[in-house]
Amino acid sequence: MDEQKDPIRVVLVGCGNWGSKLLLKMLDMSDIQVAGVIDPVEGRLAEVAKLVDSQRGKPKVRKITQYLDSIDALSLWDSVDALVIASPSENHLIWAEFGINEGKHVFVEKPITKSLAESIQLQKTQLRRVMAGKPDKVFMVGHVTHYDPGVAKFFEQIHSVVVPKGPVRITRSGRWMGDQQRFDFSKEGAESFSDIWWALAPHDVSSMLFHMGVPDKSGVLLYSDGRVQGTFKIGSRDVSLTVYRSDEERVRMYEVDTDKGPVVYDQLTGEFRGFQKGDLGEKVSFGQYDSLRLELREFVKCIRLGKQPETGLQQGLDTVRWLERVSDDISLALYGNGDHNSEDTLTEPVFVDGTKEADDNNV
């Protein structure tokens, strides 16, 4: 295969809410060929086929070779270059290890795995392949916010243009999934604090780690309406990341007060407000950028050039490390002080100042 001309042949695993977005984006990219879609959920593949048929009018949309309910049914597997994994996170480890062991490039949606232990296991799988002298393959984690130029601009201001006064504040909301329309402490029929944190925080935790560095410690603040506010101390700087579910509003904001005034990036609208090297205010719109397309193009570029992406396996592992730390702090807040249990209703916010200092347990 001439990698400079032929599209990268991929198999998509999982085609639910986010997987279908990845699928439509890849079908509209000339340098990617979707060789197959795998999803074991009954009726899902028929829905996907109907969705793809609705896009046939677009000139770049390519035909999908196969719709499958398992990898065993896939023909021409040797001609596939990469595995794109958008299945539920509890299946990420088994699919990612499969891709690594089969010698395929791997793109896996966030979070890379559902626990730090699984991420370390995945890293060991990759290391064993390298130590065996087998060709290095690209491994990329889908932290799409990393490829948003407005987010990069926000952190660039903090580092080079302004002096922060107060914490960096990141806020992200997400709609309720399926029939879940309420929050409760129990797992029956509703999400828990930890579920909400793991579902909504990965992108922003990854951005924080990349642009600001490794935290010295973490904490958490919990609210009775289901809001989770992770707190981080990174050197002399504080970061608060608040996530919650809502059907009434959508929020994806990066904010900080500085010596020159507020710096704000609204990720939904693409509007950025900050400062130039001088004291003149700066307003920029990044609304024209398609971060998901930029992310997938980076995956293709890394395959072509034989290099690892910035959002590689180690970045995914580090993100899970801090997601899990805050999740542990949530458990400590609810169960560690004896004031709350899974059936209580919070009347006041509960704050836990994480006692675990940053350590170095990389593989």
Say which amino acid occupies 245: R
Residues 85 and 98 in one domain: yes
Domain-located, residue 116: yes
Q: Encoding tokens for residue 190?
A: 């509703």
Residues 57 and 130 in one domain: yes
Report yes or no: 245 and 178 within 8 Å, Cβ to Cβ. no
Residues 90 and 151 in one domain: no
Q: CA–CA separation, 235 vs 66, rounded Å?
A: 51
Domain-located, residue 99: yes
Report yes or no: 16 and 86 within 8 Å, Cβ to Cβ. yes
Domain around 30:
8-143+294-311
Q: What's the CATH code of the domain at 199?
A: 3.30.360.10
Q: Encoding tokens for residue 144?
A: 């799409």
- Chain segment 288-313, per-residue pLDDT in tens: 789 999 999 999 999 999 999 999 99
Q: Work out how many domains the chain is built from and give that number.
A: 2
Residues 204 and 347 in one domain: yes
Residues 303 and 329 in one domain: no
Residues 219 and 304 in one domain: no
Residues 134 and 160 in one domain: no
Domain-located, residue 122: yes
Residues 222 and 330 in one domain: yes
pTM (2 d.p.): 0.85
**What per-residue confidence (pLDDT) applies to 66?**
58
Residues 283 and 248 in one domain: yes
The number of helix segments (H) and strand segments (E) in the chain equals: 9, 15
Domain-located, residue 213: yes
Q: CA–CA separation, 56 vs 62, rounded Å?
A: 8
Residues 20 and 115 in one domain: yes
For 281-284, which contacts have Cβ atoms below 8 Å and span 24 or more sequence positions?
284/150, 284/153
**What per-residue confidence (pLDDT) applies to 71?**
59
Q: What's the CATH code of the domain at 82?
A: 3.40.50.720
How would DSSP label each residue in 298-319? HHHHHHHHT---TTSHHHHHHH
**What per-residue confidence (pLDDT) applies to 4?**
52
Report yes or no: 268 and 250 within 8 Å, Cβ to Cβ. yes
Residues 223 and 348 in one domain: yes
pLDDT means per 10 residues, the chain with 363 residues, are 70 88 89 86 78 62 55 67 94 93 95 96 94 92 93 90 87 73 48 87 96 91 87 92 89 92 92 72 75 95 95 96 91 62 43 47 40
Report yes or no: 37 and 27 within 8 Å, Cβ to Cβ. no
Domain-located, residue 300: yes
How would DSSP label each residue in 230-245? EEEEETTEEEEEEEEE
Residues comprising the chain, all counted: 363
Domain-located, residue 2: no
Domain-located, residue 3: no
Domain-located, residue 249: yes
Residues 68 and 149 in one domain: no
Q: CA–CA separation, 87 vs 97, rounded Å?
A: 14
Report yes or no: 333 and 340 within 8 Å, Cβ to Cβ. yes
